[in-house]
């Protein structure tokens, strides 16, 4: 077991809200982000620069970025899929871009509207331009643990994509559909480490109740960063297949009791989750808010 610290990347405002049916007003998004920053979160994936027709939940990305608290040490990321998204990200003043390449051809074409080859080429162009503008660049390999269309995704396939996309400051592997288990985390970590020395970040959903075990395993293996969303939002509670991100507060509970320092205040994170829960008007998947911190 490793006792190193780990960075929490708060993705509730982006991946969380993007997958909720309710379209949250800009002011409420900003209040959620303010609460997260007040809780001590220092890295927030705040927005996505995709076409508003495809993801109406993120149509106000520029407005959100114009209003978030700019505090030394707090970095905001925006998700981008293409150069048009990068243009918007640069104009909106994000600190870093998260560039997504999907591991499988079918999912890439359906989700991003481009082939994997085109996505890899796009990554190179975006990374170069983003770096030129002084922004950090994350490569996210989506569907890195499995694809809804093509099934199993081998760690070798993920590693091959990482190899083809040099220049990222960080490699994130995303279990987009929540199918991975800790043994998969071990395999993909080993495979990616063979082709890249960049810090590793993981993005887990708790779709099949393996998300927290996956996160713990990633931390044990020395992952530099873990994604989570305050409230565990992102899986509509009334949808047939709830697929929220792992929840920041439940992850913090586990990490803090394991002796991991995160610099994040658990009670304040619960307040941020309560804020977005009230706004969404439905119970969030996170459990700590209901069960209570312990010992009291």
Of the candidates 74, 182, 195, 271, which one interacts with a copy of itself according to CB under 8 A? 182
Distance of CA 168 to the CA centre of its chain: 16
The nearest distance, CB 217 to a copy of itself, in angstroms, is: 8
Contacts of 113 (CB under 8 A, 6+ apart): none
Q: Closer to a copy of itself at the Cβ: 138 or 210?
A: 210
Binding flags for a copy of itself, 1-40, as an x/- string (CB under 8 A): x---------------------------------------
What whole-number distance in Å separates Cα of residue 264 and Cα of residue 42? 9
Tell me the C-alpha distance between 69 and 75, whole Å: 10
Name the minimum Å distance from CB 295 to a copy of itself: 4
- For 191, other C-beta atoms within 10 Å of its C-beta total 19
Cα 191 to Cα 185: distance, rounded to the nearest angstrom: 10
At closest approach, how far in Å is the CB of 163 from a copy of itself? 25
User: What are 167's two structure tokens?
Assistant: 């220049």
From the list 80, 179, 226, 236, the catalytic residue is 236
Segment contacting a copy of itself (CB under 8 A): 108-116, 156-164, 205-213, 274-282?
A: 205-213
Gyration radius of the chain's alpha carbons: 17
As a whole number of angstroms, the distance between CA 241 and CA 295 comes to 32
Residue numbers of the site for a copy of itself (CB under 8 A)?
1, 146, 151-152, 177-179, 181-184, 186, 206-210, 212-213, 215-217, 240-243, 246-247, 250, 253-254, 257-259, 286-288, 290-292, 294-296
């Amino acid at each position: 077991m490793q006792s190193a610290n780990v960075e929490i990347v708060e993705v509730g405002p982006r991946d969380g809200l993007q997958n909720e049916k309710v379209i949250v007003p800009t002011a409420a998004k900003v209040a959620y982000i303010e609460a997260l920053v007040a809780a001590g979160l220092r890295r927030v994936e705040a927005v996505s620069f995709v076409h508003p027709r495809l993801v109406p939940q993120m149509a106000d990305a520029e407005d959100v970025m114009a209003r978030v608290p700019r505090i030394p040490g707090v970095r905001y990321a925006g998700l981008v899929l293409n150069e048009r998204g990068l243009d918007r990200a640069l104009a909106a003043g994000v600190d870093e871009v998260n560039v997504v390449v999907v591991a499988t051809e079918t999912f890439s074409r359906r989700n991003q509207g481009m082939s994997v080859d085109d996505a890899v080429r796009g990554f190179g162009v975006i990374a170069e331009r983003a770096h030129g503008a002084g922004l950090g660049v994350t490569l996210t390999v989506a569907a890195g643990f499995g694809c809804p269309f093509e099934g199993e995704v081998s760690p070798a396939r993920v590693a091959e994509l990482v190899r083809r996309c040099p220049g990222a400051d960080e490699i994130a592997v995303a279990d987009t559909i929540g199918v991975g288990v800790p043994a998969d985390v071990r395999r993909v970590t080993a495979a990616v480490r063979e082709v890249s020395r960049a810090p590793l970040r993981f993005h887990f959903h708790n779709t099949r109740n393996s998300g927290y075990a996956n996160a713990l395993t990633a931390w044990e293996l020395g992952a530099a960063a873990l994604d989570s969303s305050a409230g565990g939002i992102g899986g509509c509670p009334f949808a047939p297949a709830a697929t929220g991100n792992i929840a920041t507060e439940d992850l913090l509970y586990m990490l803090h009791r394991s002796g991991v320092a995160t610099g994040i205040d658990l009670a304040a994170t619960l307040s941020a989750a309560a804020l977005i829960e009230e706004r969404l008007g439905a119970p969030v998947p996170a459990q700590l808010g209901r069960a209570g911190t312990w010992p009291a």
